Structure 1
């Protein structure tokens, strides 16, 4: 449901929609998406780093949406003192898309998606006493969640 709109010329929107997928295939977002099935799930992205003052490393960010030709999901990741967007934030954004779309290597298998039935869950997952979540529909996905203070 659209809540509001920003007044942006249609030509600007078209330019961005045509350009941002190229960041993932031929630009600064290419490295973290090498080997990703972009022909099946095109990803539009923009990478960046925000400079900070003092003895600190730049803040890394990676903004994206997919599929680029018919957007369903937007993922933006920012890592304080993370350096560049493509090296720090990009690989994690890719991993999130792999989980959402059920991607392993070049294979896209929607039944492997973390979204059972293709949609995000509306309720919180059950969490075991050891801190690991119970996978949807009782399937054990092997997903592990690091416990606070745990080394890993």
Structure 2
């Protein structure tokens, strides 16, 4: 299968066919599609396609995906569909972005809040005291008036 076929399918709006190919890429952990996946992750406004690409990138496991996943995560176009993007980060070293991730812990979306909390929990032992304090400060300032059990748990975890 030629790499440009995936780009063509996406450009032509044949999303279901593109997703079939993306799932094969994911299953085979085929790194030859890495750049195509990264470019389409950034470019697409289709939440379903974006989620499939994020999962494929996670399965492939190439660290090049981290910065792009974070960039897409914080982009306004992903408001309301960030849970899978956070989930996709699990297979990577995302500690350099822990402050960005912490900012999603008090989200009004349970999925987003929980996934961000889990990412923090996975790396808590690797964080310095200074990083923990910064995460705590982010949570306290961002979610001053928020009553959220996950947020409370995150603050306890950072103690």
Provide the TM-score with structure 1 as the length reference.
0.28
* Largest Rg, 1 or 2: 1
Of Structure 1 and Structure 2, the greater strand share is in: 1
Provide the TM-score with structure 2 as the length reference.
0.27
Of Structure 1 and Structure 2, the greater helix share is in: 2
Taking CA–CA contacts closer than 8 Å with sequence separation of 6 or more, which of the two structures ends up with the larger relative contact order? Answer: 2
